[in-house]
Amino acid sequence: MDVAEVFADRALIFVNPDGSEVLSHIQFGRPYMRKELDWRCDCDIPNVLKPTHGAGIDGLHALLLTMSLVETLLETKHSDGWRFLWPDTRDETSPRQIFEADHFARMRSSI
């Protein structure tokens, strides 16, 4: 995905089962309409997952389903031995926590 197309992103350190680390970003493209009631949202995690997309009946639906898809793909990687770290603290996180508000509450409490 071209950086200019990125609508929202989140940086993470992805730790391969062999211990090698990759700093990458979960990148979501802006949802777009292909035709009436057929929206798409692209997603990429360079050097970790192949580009993918979700689809829905409107932009929000497509974005939410894409986020859910990425969480599921990361759960599979986690089951295969991958670990995920926040870049600022190197604290380990789970695919579910990546998309939940707990991380934001932790960030606010440290300000």
Q: Specify the pLDDT at position 106.
A: 52
Instruction: Return the higher-pLDDT residue of 79 and 1.
Output: 79
Q: What are 25-35's pLDDT values in tens digits?
A: 999 999 999 99
User: Do the bridges between strand 21-29 and strand 38-45 make them parallel or antiparallel, or are there none, so unpaired?
Assistant: antiparallel
Q: How many CA atoms lie within 13 A of 57 on its CB side?
A: 0
Amino acid at site 81: G
This prediction has a pTM of 0.85
Q: What are 36-89's pLDDT values in tens digits?
A: 999 999 999 999 999 999 999 999 999 999 999 999 999 999 999 999 999 999
Q: Which is nearest to 46 in space by CA: 20, 14, 24? A: 24
Q: Specify the pLDDT at position 100.
A: 82
CA–CA separation, 33 and 106 (whole Å): 35
